[in-house]
Amino acid sequence: MSTSTIKSVFWKGCRDGAPFILVAAPFSLLFGVVGTEAGLNIAEIMGFSVLVIAGAAQFAALHLMIQDAPTLVILATSLAVNLRMAMYSASLVPHLGQASLRRRALVAYFNFDQSYAMAIIEYERNPERPVTEKFFYFLGVVTPVAGAWYAFSLIGAVLGESIPTDIGLDFALPITFLALIGPMLKSVAHLAAALTSVIVALALGGLPYGAGLLIAGLAAMVVGAETERRMT
């Protein structure tokens, strides 16, 4: 495979991923600010963003840490929020399963909502692409998004309380998930799972330590799987 082909695929991924900077930047900036207000130093905030690189899980964990929740509850909640990554990974196996271990490890680390959404759309559109091209497309998508996440987490951590938290930076979270999830609701099972998660999460919103979110996630997976089983 020629170097020019790899570069072309990589830059296509960069172009496709670039619009997500518009939501990754304010979201990560907000995390840096909130982390500072919660008492984390810059190294702890950046370690959080680099090691976890999953915004929803980071905010959930930080919220529970502020509440002095037990460590096991924090870990369980973060894991539950990120369980969707396991499903993303399973979906990518037919396309990237033949890649080298090092490349698969890199994909696993950068496998978040935006990278998965763009990659799976591209892979389903061009399933005949070689594994190497698919890998470099994925790498291209994550480059601008992850770069923005790291950079603006640092900016938020450095500026800290000088950035007011009431300026509406948190708009990025719901917009991101609406933009990603909406196009993926392609079947009755998808709709059933989404509707179940919304209803259960709202009904159990008063439970401590975000337990309602855990139950909602599990209920949605059960309903979605059962709906698909009955339909097939």
Amino acid at 232: T
Are residues 48 and 94 located together in one domain of the fold? yes
Q: How many domains, in total, are found in the chain?
A: 2
Position of tokens 């990659």? 119
Cα–Cα dist 232/227, whole Å = 9
Cα–Cα dist 198/146, whole Å = 28
Amino acid at 30: L
Are residues 29 and 96 located together in one domain of the fold? yes
Q: Cα separations (Å) of 1 from 129, 139, 190? A: 11, 17, 38
Q: Cα separations (Å) of 168 from 53, 120, 163? A: 22, 31, 11
Are residues 201 and 91 located together in one domain of the fold? no
Cβ-contact 29, 169 below 8 angstroms: yes
Are residues 124 and 197 located together in one domain of the fold? no
Asked whether the whole model's pTM tops 0.75, one would answer: yes
Q: Cα separations (Å) of 197 from 170, 194, 202? A: 21, 5, 8
Cβ-contact 77, 201 below 8 angstroms: no
Residues spanned by the domain of 56: 3-184
Are residues 64 and 172 located together in one domain of the fold? yes
Are residues 167 and 193 located together in one domain of the fold? no
Q: Please give the chain's pLDDT, 232 residues, in tens.
A: 678 889 999 999 999 999 999 888 888 888 888 888 888 999 999 999 999 898 888 888 888 888 888 888 888 888 877 877 888 898 899 999 999 999 999 999 999 988 998 999 999 999 999 999 999 999 999 999 999 999 999 999 998 767 665 555 555 566 666 665 666 677 888 888 889 988 998 898 888 766 777 788 788 888 988 998 888 7
The pLDDT value given to residue 170:
56
Are residues 16 and 30 located together in one domain of the fold? yes
Are residues 165 and 200 located together in one domain of the fold? no
Are residues 53 and 94 located together in one domain of the fold? yes
Are residues 196 and 166 located together in one domain of the fold? no
Are residues 124 and 58 located together in one domain of the fold? yes
Are residues 159 and 227 located together in one domain of the fold? no
